[in-house]
Structure 1
Amino acid sequence: MYTREQASQLRQAFWTTFGQYIAPHPSAEGLKINWSNYKTGIKHVYFRMRAETKVASIGIEITHPDPELQELFYEQFLELKGYLHETLGEEWEWDLHTTNEFGETITRIYKEIRPVNVFNREDWPALISFFKPRIIALDEFWSDAQYSFESLK
């Protein structure tokens, strides 16, 4: 069992390692990008990567406090579902109005892998191999799709 500080340091070490590994890869538009803290440019729409003790996930999270506006964003993503899955090369889970770890209502489009443990350095190659192609594919999708969300800004 790790202390809170040790757990924080291990998580930070993983994300630093991931960032160093993926840093040489430019965005779909050829720009330098912070892959670990991806900015969509649209408030309340995030690309999130999580690595925990039993599961890792990557996804699109819609966190608007108004559930009706969350649903509008979700519907817009549904319009692009075929293109998203084609770009990703796989199908993802779609959850309208689920609850996050803080009890807030959010909407998620995501993919998970199990069992992996961010605290086990032997799992890091699997985690990096899971995250890297998917965040790059999300960026490729977003470089075209973001314009569909202009009216929702």
Structure 2
Amino acid sequence: MYKKAEIAKTKKDFWTTFGAYMKPVPSAEGTRVNWQNYKTGVKQLFFRMKAERGFASIGIELNHPDMDIQELQYEQLIMFKSMLRGQLGEEWNWSYAQPDEYGRPMSKAEVVLEGVSVMEKDDWPKIISFLKPRIIALDEFWSNVRHGFEELK
């Protein structure tokens, strides 16, 4: 069993390693970007990467507290679903207004890699190889569709 401090340190070390690995990669627009803390510029719309014990995931999360705005954002994202699929080369799992760990409604599109653990350094290359092309593809997708979400801020 891992201690909380050990888990926190290992996760911090993983994200530091991931950040160093991604640092030389420019955004789709040629600018520097903090890949592990990607800023979409739209309130309550996030690109989330997770590396946990048992899985890694990446996705787009919508958690605007105004459900009308969250619904509009989700519908807008659905309109771009085929473009996203084309950019990523894979189908993601979609869910609307499902409760998050705090019971608040959250909508998302995500893909999960099962059977890896951030606590196992031998799994880090698999996790990085899973996250890297997807966050780069999300960035490219976002550079093409961002304007469609800006009025929904």
Q: TM-score, normalised by structure 1?
A: 0.97
**Cα distance between partner residues in 2 of 1:81 and 1:111:** 14
Q: Which amino acid aligns with 1:106?
A: M
Q: TM-score, normalised by structure 2?
A: 0.97
Task: After TM superposition, give the deviation of residue 68 of structure 1 in Å.
Answer: 2.3
Moved over 2 A (4+): none
> C-alpha root-mean-square deviation of aligned residues, in Å?
0.8
Q: When you count strand as a share of all residues, which structure comes out higher? A: 2
Q: Which amino acid aligns with 1:89?
A: G
The 5-angstrom pairing of residues 11-22 of structure 1 reads 11-22=11-22
**Cα distance between partner residues in 2 of 1:100 and 1:8:** 21
Match of 1:55, SS state, is strand
Number of the residue aligned with 1:126: 126
Task: After TM superposition, give the deviation of residue 3 of structure 1 in Å.
Answer: 1.2
Gapped runs of 5+ residues in structure 2?
Answer: none
Number of the residue aligned with 1:83: 83
- Map Cα deviations across residues 31-86 of structure 1 (whole Å, 9 max, x no partner): 01100000000010000001111111100000101222211100000111111110
Task: After TM superposition, give the deviation of residue 100 of structure 1 in Å.
Answer: 1.6
Give percent identity, aligned residues only: 50
Gapped runs of 5+ residues in structure 1?
Answer: none
Number of the residue aligned with 2:34: 34
Match of 2:53, SS state, is coil
